[in-house]
């Protein structure tokens, strides 16, 4: 493969790089989109200079974000709301469950959807699934309207970008209050919560936001090499959802299995210290600096 070297700054004085062949680039109304190919990781998506997904390890992220909450709930998941997820990987994993009757996906940027469908179809689920309602629009506004209309979902998945640019509203208190209002009594919310090694305030900040509106909040992890380390996921629910950390099926994917499910909730000591020491100043954390 011929191309040029591209690097992403992911910490204080730290970058990682890819030799890429540029497949497509576009400035959308919301962000800069790059779709590339790399000899190690296959095709991938970059938004505003941050790698969002690559073929090489996307299955880890998408399987862990979907199967942990679905198989951790005591009651069957029937309805799902996905915020973000333009590459379609979350949709793909959700669609594996026949008992799910309704899927709503809200994506802000139509151009990213179009680009991913054209250049990354290998990642995507079935956009023609009759259970799917695809909404092009603001996720925060959709959740607000759904809360006002007393809509309820058994699973809400927040596959958003990091807390920069148009995604900042998804980290504010009103959004979390509306999320809680949209959650069924036995349902669960899950959101990607950054890499603690380079974004040390994001995961404990999200935990604090959820604890303000829901009583049961848990953190689990997964390795994501193309992101630069272990990524955090945070779940939030009411007590009726049961113990999310306990799998209720022997399902196995490419990465996910019941043993991985349980082990993912075993947090490193320094993650536990981040949670214990966190002091909420009310500001959305947008820094990327190393904890060590």
Active-site annotation, residues = 159
**Total length of the chain:** 292
How far apart (Å, rounded) are the C-alpha atoms in residues 35 and 22? 6
Query: Given the structure tokens 């040390």, which residue do they identify?
Result: 200
**Nearest residue to 190 via CA among 42, 288, 112, 81:** 81
Using the Cα atoms of residue 77, residue 78, residue 79 and residue 84 in order, give the sign of their dihedral.
positive
Please tell me whether residue 62 adopts helix, strand or coil conformation.
helix
- 219: CB partners within 8 A, 6+ apart: 193, 203, 207, 232, 233, 234, 235, 265, 267, 271, 275
How far apart (Å, rounded) are the C-alpha atoms in residues 75 and 187? 8
How far apart (Å, rounded) are the C-alpha atoms in residues 11 and 196? 11
* 41 neighbors 226 (Cβ within 8 angstroms): yes
Please tell me whether residue 161 adopts helix, strand or coil conformation.
coil
* 233 neighbors 219 (Cβ within 8 angstroms): yes
How far apart (Å, rounded) are the C-alpha atoms in residues 126 and 123? 10
E strand map for the chain: 4-11, 14-27, 32-38, 42-47, 50-54, 79-84, 102-107, 132-136, 153-159, 183-192, 216-224, 229-237
Q: What does the block give as tokens for 227?
A: 């992101």
């Amino acid at each position: 493969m011929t191309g040029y070297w591209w690097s992403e700054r992911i910490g204080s004085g730290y970058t990682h790089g890819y030799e890429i062949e540029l497949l497509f680039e576009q400035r959308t109304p919301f962000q800069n989109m790059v779709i590339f190919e790399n000899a190690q990781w296959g095709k991938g998506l970059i938004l505003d200079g941050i790698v969002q997904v690559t073929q090489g390890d996307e299955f880890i992220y998408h399987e862990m974000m979907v199967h942990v909450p679905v198989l951790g709930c005591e009651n069957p998941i029937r309805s799902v709301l996905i915020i973000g997820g333009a590459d379609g990987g979350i949709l793909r994993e959700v669609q594996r469950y026949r008992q799910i009757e309704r899927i709503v996906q809200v994506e802000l940027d139509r151009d990213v959807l179009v680009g991913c469908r054209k250049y990354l179809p290998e990642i995507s689920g079935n956009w023609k699934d009759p259970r799917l309602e695809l909404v092009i629009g603001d996720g925060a506004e959709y959740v607000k309207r759904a809360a006002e209309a007393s809509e309820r979902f058994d699973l809400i998945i927040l596959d958003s970008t990091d807390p920069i640019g148009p995604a900042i509203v998804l980290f504010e208190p009103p959004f979390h209050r509306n999320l809680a209002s949209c959650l069924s009594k036995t349902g669960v919310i899950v959101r990607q919560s950054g890499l603690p090694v380079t974004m040390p305030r994001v995961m404990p900040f999200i935990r604090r936001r959820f604890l303000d509106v829901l009583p049961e909040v848990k953190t689990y992890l997964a390795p994501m090499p193309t992101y630069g380390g272990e990524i955090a996921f945070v779940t939030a629910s009411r007590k009726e959802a049961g113990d999310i950390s306990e799998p209720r099926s022997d399902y196995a994917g490419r990465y996910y299995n019941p043993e991985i499910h349980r082990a993912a909730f075993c947090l490193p000591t320094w993650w536990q210290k981040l949670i214990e020491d966190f002091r909420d100043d009310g500001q959305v954390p947008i820094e990327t600096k190393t904890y060590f």
